[in-house]
Structure formats: structure tokens, C-alpha cells
Structure 1
Amino acid sequence: MATAGRSRRFCRCACFCSENLYVARYGLHLRFRSEPQLRRDYGPILRSRGCVRAQDFQQLVAELEQEVERRRRLGQESAARKALIASSYRPARPDVYGSLQDTALAPEFLAAAEYSASPGADLKGLLQRLQTVSEEKRIYRVPVFTVPFCQALLEELEHFEQSDMPKGRPNTMNHYGTAVGASWTATGPLWSNTRRARTASWAVTTITPSSPSMWPWARPSRGAPCSLGASSR
């Protein structure tokens, strides 16, 4: 943990540079550490999907090595991008960068957060406050942000997307995601400064995005607060 007066240290899991490397033309997420390991672990399935010739395999290896190198450079590139954005970017909606207020949070989420901090709270009680998507698969959802806050966030994201600022794309979300260079500066205070940050922590650990339509920046054109999927696992 960083301490006052010292530069902050950022760490990443070593597996980030070797796991979950997506190859679109074969429709596979691969683990890559070496050519022998790749042949051993994925040889049969790669051949079944068209990676038959030696040049096909060598092209795949080259692509994986390129992606690994890209991931290794992300830290330095992100720091440079963050510095440039912090000094040059002018947000369209500065209000979304302030401390997150209760008015930005959906009543259903606030109720779930309050319950999770109450004496005797348990998973069963929490799930009763969520909408059931699939009982069999234990998939649930709960609105997190209000429509006005989502609209403001969308305006800011679209403004940033249309600017000439450098954009980082998060892994395989290159078509629909963007990583704002100052993302930690922007989003860190939103949650850490909220008085419910601790009381809602248990509820939040059960919440995971389950489809594009449930992401908080999904367009709220259907007249309902944007939601995040929740799994009880």
C-alpha cells in the first residue's frame, strides 16, 4: 500500500501477460507461455478450427507474442496517456468526476447496500432485494445508477470518444469499451469518498456485468435505470 510522501506503486498479476489471449479467427481465448506449451495445450482444437499449416501456427505465435508485448507496455503507455489527458482534456460534464452522491444511486441499490450493512444480513436476504434473471443459473440484477447520472456519464464518455485525446482499449472490448487515461483520478474518488463505500462493500462483491445492456453506460433509452448483473456465486 502506498504511503504519504512516497510515489505510488502499481502492480499487476503476472498472468495478465499470458492468460486469456483472444484470437478472433479461431474463436478461442488462449494461454500462451511458449510454442511447445501452445502446441501441447491447444494443438487439436486449433487444427479443428483451421490452424493446420505450419505458417498458420507461426502466424498465431507472432500474434500472441505481439499481444503479450502490448500488455507489458500498458503500464507505461497508460501513465503517459493519463498525464496528457490530465493536462489537456476539458470534460463536457465535470460533475461526473466529483464525489458520488446518493442522488446518483438507484433506490434499489441503496436499499441493498443498507441491508448488507445491517445486523443479521445474509445472502438470502440480499437476493430478495435483487431482481431474479435466472434462478437456475443464480443470475440477478439491480439498478446501480439513476437515469440522469447515466445520461451524464454517457455524455462525458461520448465527448471523450470524439476528442483527439489518446484512447486505450481494454483488451477484447475494443469495439465498445474505452479506458480514459485519467480513469483512476476520475473514478477513484467516486467510490472511495462515498459514505456507503464500506457499508455496501459486501453487496458490491456480488455484482458483476453479465451483458452489454447491463453495463452502467448502456443507453437508458428504455426508461429504466441502468443495471449491473449480479451473481450469488
Structure 2
Amino acid sequence: MTLYPLFRVTRQLQTVRTTTLPPRKAANMAREVTLPTSGSADDGEFYVCSCFFTNNFYLKDYNVHVVYRDDVQFGEEYKQVMNKYGCGTDEQWNQVLAQVKSELERRHNLFQQSLEKSRQIRTQYRPLHPQVYTLQKSFFAPEFLEFVELSRRIDTTPEDVMKFVTSKPDNRVYEFPVFTEHFCQLFMEEITHFEDSNLPKGRPNTMNNYGILLNELGFDEGFITPLRTDYLRPICRLLYPDWGGDALDSHKAFVVTYKLGEDLDLSYHYDNAEVTLNVSLGKDFEEGSLYFGNMRQVVQSQPSYREHKHRPTYGLLHRGQHKHGAMPIDEGERYNLIIWMRSSKVRNQLCPMCDQKPTLVRTVGFGDGFTKETKTVDVCCAS
């Protein structure tokens, strides 16, 4: 059995713990489901790949991602491997199996439950700052507006916009101011106000236990979608043309929080996105920098890392497949706005989570950004 490594990095970026797992396999045995369609989408219906129901189950206690298709496959591929990393008793194995099955059930119910949460929040929640739900130019830093304006010009080159960003050679991780301090303060107050309510909250993903899905809170149509299409897509067109930067037609947006007693850090991973924007909203915190390694396609026994410190109101723009993590915070609390931007033009060819041509499952809203490609026939040439 071929094995591949995952890594977890300490604050000093010196000690690396290696976790070994079997390779990803095609998700051909996923349960076929048709989910209700609702929500907004740029150009018609969006889908998830069927591997969503089999691949990338995260076991936090062991810092590993696993594939689950059935009990027999899971036992054959993982029981011996997991024993090497502390899962040595039948009780521990049964706990792992129960955790994976619980996550599988959550995924099957996720889209319908998200739709129900959105409806409940829409009817019962009273925003603290209603104005932040509709994107306004006044929310942006002046430098960001200049950056966007230049990016929209048809004759602008990537070299022309480098004056607006800080980046490290060959890294393609770009930092630039995005929002004003005033907006970030209002936005965090709104998120905190919702967190303090007794309304249901969906977690952003299996690796973050604390945070808010912004589509459930009602930010998609008036805020995130115009931010992606009108402001971020012109920038990504120049900086990431090889990753569908000019055709980012869907997204997943959420806020994550890090503080003592809750999530402190984030393990080394890559995003289910073509391009990611990560904006530090602020609050008082110490440490917790992001670190970047290699693209996920690059396999190295001892990868090198580059650290990027968070600066409130500033965003980091990077390729979704660029592996990264977050080091632990020492003090305080940090809020980050994360936008996973997806291009169906890119991911329709190869699912980034299973490395296969995607098998489409109909879903709610943007799903995971896949679309059904329509084949056309040239009637003039058809016989």
C-alpha cells in the first residue's frame, strides 16, 4: 500500500510531525442523492462531487484525513496505520469509526439543514448593524479601490499592479489592505452579536469548530457575491490566470475565530478552492501567523515554510491548492474572513479533492462550485 505524508508545524516552524495515510481514491461508491435546489448562483445550478461523501474526513485527535466508503474498506486501509499513531485499542478504533460515520451523516444532511437554518435566521434574527449586509465602497481601504480600478482596465498587466501588493519571490501569496478599521469593527460586532444569539450555527468545515457560515447569515447576495465579481475577480484575472482567475463564478465564505479555550491553530492543509482570500478582521491577539509550504502536487520529505503575519484590515490572496496552516495564538482573540473562490471552468475538469473527473451530485446554492457542462452540436456539420 502506497503512503503519503501530512505535516503539522510548530510555532517555530522547526519541528515537523509526520502523519502517514493511504492515497486518495476515486469516490465511485458514494450514495447517490438528489438534494433540493435553492439559494443564489451566478449562472444556473451548481453541484458537489460525489467524493464529498467519501473523502477527506478529518480526525482531529490524530491530525489525519481519511477516506471512508464502508466498514470493510476502512478497516483494511486504516486500522493498522492508525495503530501506529495511538489508536491501539478496540475502544479507540470504535470511537474513530463512530466519528467518521457521524461526519458522513452530517454531510448527507448538511445542505438541507443549511437551507433550514437560513430560513430560521432570516425570520428570527435581528441584525445589530444592518448596513454591513450590503457592500459599499466606503467599507474599502482607499488603496484597495485604486488596486481594483487599475485591475479593471483591459490593458493592465500583472506587473502594473505589483505596486499595490507585498509578496515574496515565487510564492504568489499577495498581501494588501482590503477594508477600513471602522468596517472591520462593525463587521466583528455583527458576527459577535449573532454568535451570542441562540439561533443555529453551521460550522465552516471539519477543521474549524468555531466560526460562522456567511451564506446562512444572509451575506451572500448583497455582500460576498458583488465582492467576488466586481472587486476580486478583476484582481485574480491578473494574478491567477492559470487558476481561472477571470472565471471565478462561485464561492464559500465564512468567518473563523481563534482564541484561548477554543480553536488555537489550524493544521497544514489546502483549500477546496481555486483562489482564497483571507482577511484579518482584528481584535487583540498575539502570534497565530499563517505559514505556507508547497503546492499540494509537490511531494517533499522536508518541505520549507514561509511565514506571513496577520495584519488587521489586510488580506492574503493565495492559490487554494497552496498548502498552509495557522500557528497557535498566544493571547487574545482573532477573527478572519475567509472566501474560497471557485472556477467551474477549472474544477469541472478535475475535482481538487479526489483528483478525478467529478461525479456530480445536485445540491443547494453554490455547492462546491461544479456545474453541469452542456454539450453542443454544430447543426451545420451534423449529418
Give the TM-score normalised by structure 1. 0.78
Tell me the distance in 2 between the aligned counterparts of 1:212 and 1:124. Answer: 35
The 5 Å alignment of 1:74-93 reads 74-93=110-129
**How far off is 1:198 after superposition?**
3.8
Pick aligned residue for 2:151 from 107, 116, 119: 116
Native 8 Å contact 1:51 1:57 kept in 2: yes
The residue aligned with 2:220 is 187
**How far off is 1:212 after superposition?**
7.2
**How far off is 1:86 after superposition?**
0.8
The 5 Å alignment of 1:92-111 reads 92-98=128-134, 100-111=135-146
Matched, 1:219 2:251: no
The residue aligned with 1:176 is 210
Tell me the distance in 1 between the aligned counterparts of 2:101 and 2:84. Answer: 22
Distance 1:54 1:167, change over 3 A: same
The residue aligned with 2:104 is 68
Pick aligned residue for 1:47 from 83, 90, 95: 83
**How far off is 1:124 after superposition?**
3.6
Native 8 Å contact 2:203 2:212 kept in 1: yes
Tell me the distance in 2 between the aligned counterparts of 1:187 and 1:51. Answer: 41
Coordinate RMSD, CA, aligned: 3.4
Matched, 1:25 2:69: no
Where 1:167 maps in the other structure, the secondary structure is coil
**How far off is 1:201 after superposition?**
0.8
Tell me the distance in 2 between the aligned counterparts of 1:215 and 1:199. Answer: 15
Native 8 Å contact 1:106 1:225 kept in 2: no
Where 2:213 maps in the other structure, the secondary structure is coil
Matched, 1:230 2:265: no
Distance 1:198 1:221, change over 3 A: same
Tell me the distance in 2 between the aligned counterparts of 1:128 and 1:44. Answer: 53
**How far off is 1:174 after superposition?**
4.2
Task: Report the residue type matching 1:178 in the other structure.
Answer: I
The residue aligned with 2:190 is 156
Task: Report the residue type matching 1:187 in the other structure.
Answer: D
User: C-alpha deviations, 1:64-102, integer Å up to 9, x for none?
Assistant: 01101111111111111111111111000000112x121
Tell me the distance in 2 between the aligned counterparts of 1:14 and 1:151. Answer: 39
**How far off is 1:217 after superposition?**
5.7
Native 8 Å contact 1:82 1:182 kept in 2: yes
Tell me the distance in 2 between the aligned counterparts of 1:137 and 1:199. Answer: 22
Higher strand share: 2
Task: Report the residue type matching 2:316 in the other structure.
Answer: G
Where 1:231 maps in the other structure, the secondary structure is strand
Distance 1:58 1:204, change over 3 A: same
Tell me the distance in 2 between the aligned counterparts of 1:69 and 1:81. Answer: 17
Alignment gaps of 5+ in structure 2? 1-36, 39-43, 246-252, 259-276, 286-310, 323-383
**How far off is 1:27 after superposition?**
1.1
The residue aligned with 1:125 is 160
Where 1:135 maps in the other structure, the secondary structure is coil
Matched, 1:135 2:222: no
Task: Report the residue type matching 1:138 in the other structure.
Answer: R
Native 8 Å contact 2:176 2:315 kept in 1: yes
**How far off is 1:148 after superposition?**
1.0
The residue aligned with 1:5 is none
The residue aligned with 2:248 is none
Task: Report the residue type matching 1:228 in the other structure.
Answer: G
Alignment gaps of 5+ in structure 1? 3-7
Distance 1:47 1:171, change over 3 A: same
Tell me the distance in 2 between the aligned counterparts of 1:121 and 1:199. Answer: 15
Pick aligned residue for 2:233 from 182, 185, 201: 201
Native 8 Å contact 1:115 1:121 kept in 2: yes
Higher helix share: 1
Tell me the distance in 2 between the aligned counterparts of 1:110 and 1:221. Answer: 26
Distance 1:136 1:9, change over 3 A: closer
Native 8 Å contact 1:104 1:149 kept in 2: yes
Task: Report the residue type matching 2:188 in the other structure.
Answer: L
User: C-alpha deviations, 1:41-65, integer Å up to 9, x for none?
Assistant: 4455422211233443333222101
Tell me the distance in 1 between the aligned counterparts of 2:161 and 2:76. Answer: 45
Distance 1:212 1:229, change over 3 A: farther
**How far off is 1:116 after superposition?**
2.1
